[in-house]
Amino acid sequence: MYSQAKVIAGGLAHIPVVIAVFYFILTTFNKRALKFVEETKTKKTEEKAVEPKKVTVSKTEAPKTEAPKTEAPKVVKKKHADVPVNIYRPKTPYEGTVIENYSLLKEGAIGRVNHITFDLKDSDPFLNYIEGQSIGIMPAGEDANGKPHKLRLYSIASTRHGDDFNGNTVSLCVRQLQYEKDGETINGVCSTYLCDIKPGDKVKITGPVGKEMLLPDEEDSNIVMLATGTGIAPMRAYLRRMFEPTEKEKNKWNFKGKAWLFMGAPKSANLLYEEDLQRYLTDNPDNFKYTKAISREQQNTKGGRMYIQDRVLESANELFNMIEDEKTHIYLCGLKGMEPGIDEAMTKAAEEKGLNWAELRPQLKKAGRWHVETY
Ligand code: FAD
Ligand code: A2P
């Protein structure tokens, strides 16, 4: 028989066991709860980092990510999360007013290439953009099926501050597409529409779009540019950002690297923005190099038309010395047809330095240093 004292003593003896079980349950639950909170937090942070964000900036001040000035550029491609995209879409485009539309060509040039500027000041939300992006243009009228024309993309040729530095315009560099078919001259729909519009006309604009052709933040980066024809458009914006005095005052981006433009045009009269480029050369001899390939006036070593890839080969050593520097970015813009030629030239140029272009190009791409926009 148990005495009352024995029962009490037995009960007391179980207390440590009960406490231990209780403690075990509590700590296990706490650990799990903590783990869950941590996991949720990490997931949210990751989502935030990749989420493309619309940036609304004042009309004169631009979105600027502060770059560490002393650090070397990171080899890993940036996500450009805060670059403005698709502020205006095809269903609700912005109607911009044409400010100016003039020919960029000289007497004797081939075809039609115009510089066209649109007013953005009435856009709400404000249509801001950065150098290297494109906008969409929706030509007036309807296609053969009675449907509104689809938009066409055009590289932006102005800096975010615009040609007048007030931050409320956007400019394009447009070549009229023309080709012969069955003995008839066909004019491209949108390029003809753009080359023909007059100051005061309203034009449907979408965008901005594109993160492929953005400039690096680092002021000591080197920028190699390979352009044919209107492929100069984004390069014009880069070069203005680097060398145009009033633009530099606005952007506070003190470019200290080397910029090298390879420009392909059929004739000297077709060279675009030539006066500005010559001025940048005179003012910045140590930071700017300008190499032209004038296909119908100059010959390559084989007696054929001189293309930018021929110029690349001529400069193979110097160019690859630059490419080996991880601060160097290469931008290719213009005719799609130039890509195989450029690849071939880069392959030969790399071989001369004992490098393998087929291996190097994907590495440059992965590092966000090889930028291509051809059409
Ligand atoms: P369309 O009326 O659309 O005609 C084009 C069509 O005509 C082609 O699809 C093809 O089917 C046919 N065609 C074309 N050539 C021939 C030929 N020789 N023989 C038979 N058929 C042919 N253009 C610029 O001028 N400046 C720029 O800065 C610029 N930037 C661009 C940026 C990007 C990202 C992209 C994708 C394109 C860019 N373009 C630029 C090209 C532009 O978007 C248009 O494609 C171009 O203006 C032609 O449009 P279009 O409406 O005049 O021609
Ligand atoms: P070409 O037309 O003499 O053959 P634009 O747009 O003003 O016509 O300029 C494009 C320039 O690019 C021209 O000089 C043109 O030469 C040149 N080009 C044409 N095809 C290629 C190619 N496959 N690779 C490099 N450049 C090219």
Q: What span, in angstroms and rounded, lies between the C-alpha atoms of 272 and 265?
A: 8
Q: Ligand 2, closest atom to CA 309?
A: 25
Of 154, 238, 273, 331, catalytic: 154
61-65, 193-197, 204-208, 320-324 — which is least confidently predicted? Answer: 61-65
- What are all long-range contacts of 280-288, with beta carbons under 8 Å and residues at least 24 apart? 280/239, 280/242, 280/243, 280/244, 283/243, 284/242, 284/243, 287/242, 287/243, 287/255, 287/256, 287/257, 287/258, 287/259, 288/239, 288/242, 288/243, 288/258, 288/259, 288/260, 288/261
Q: What is the number of domains present in the chain? A: 3
Split at pLDDT 50, 70, 90, the class of 7 is low
Residues in the chain: 375
What's residue 311's pLDDT?
97
* pLDDT over 90 percentage in the chain: 77
195 lines ligand 1 (CB under 6 A): no
Q: What span, in angstroms and rounded, lies between the C-alpha atoms of 174 and 190?
A: 10
- Does 187 fall in a domain? yes
How far, in Å, is the centroid of ligand 2 from the Cα of 296? 9
- The domain boundary, picked from 209, 239, 267, lies at 209
Of 94, 131, 134, 155, catalytic: 155
Q: Ligand 1, closest atom to CA 175?
A: 25
Same domain, 223 and 368: yes
- Does 75 fall in a domain? no
What's residue 55's pLDDT?
34
Same domain, 287 and 364: yes
Same domain, 258 and 298: yes
Mean of the pLDDT values across residues 258-283?
98
Same domain, 109 and 173: yes
DSSP state of 61: S
Closest CA to 292 of 271, 323, 317, 313: 271
CATH number at residue 286: 3.40.50.80
Same domain, 204 and 270: no
- 21: containing domain: 4-66
Same domain, 230 and 349: yes
Same domain, 44 and 134: no
DSSP 305-320: B--HHHHHHHTHHHHH
pLDDT digits (tens, 9 = 90+) for 241-266: 999 999 999 999 999 999 999 999 99
What's residue 78's pLDDT?
67
Mean pLDDT, rounded, of the chain: 86
- Does 349 fall in a domain? yes
Among 191, 195, 261, 335, name the best residue to mutate to test ligand 2's pocket (greatest count of ligand atoms within 8 A of Cβ). Answer: 335
Same domain, 309 and 363: yes
Split at pLDDT 50, 70, 90, the class of 47 is very low
- Does 74 fall in a domain? no
Mean of the pLDDT values across residues 290-307?
98
Same domain, 195 and 224: no
Split at pLDDT 50, 70, 90, the class of 312 is very high
Same domain, 242 and 153: no
What's residue 54's pLDDT?
36
pLDDT tops 50 at residue 139: yes
- Does 73 fall in a domain? no
pLDDT digits (tens, 9 = 90+) for 63-84: 433 333 333 334 556 678 899 9
State the first-to-last Cα distance of the chain, in angstroms, to the nearest integer.
99
Same domain, 221 and 97: no
Same domain, 265 and 140: no
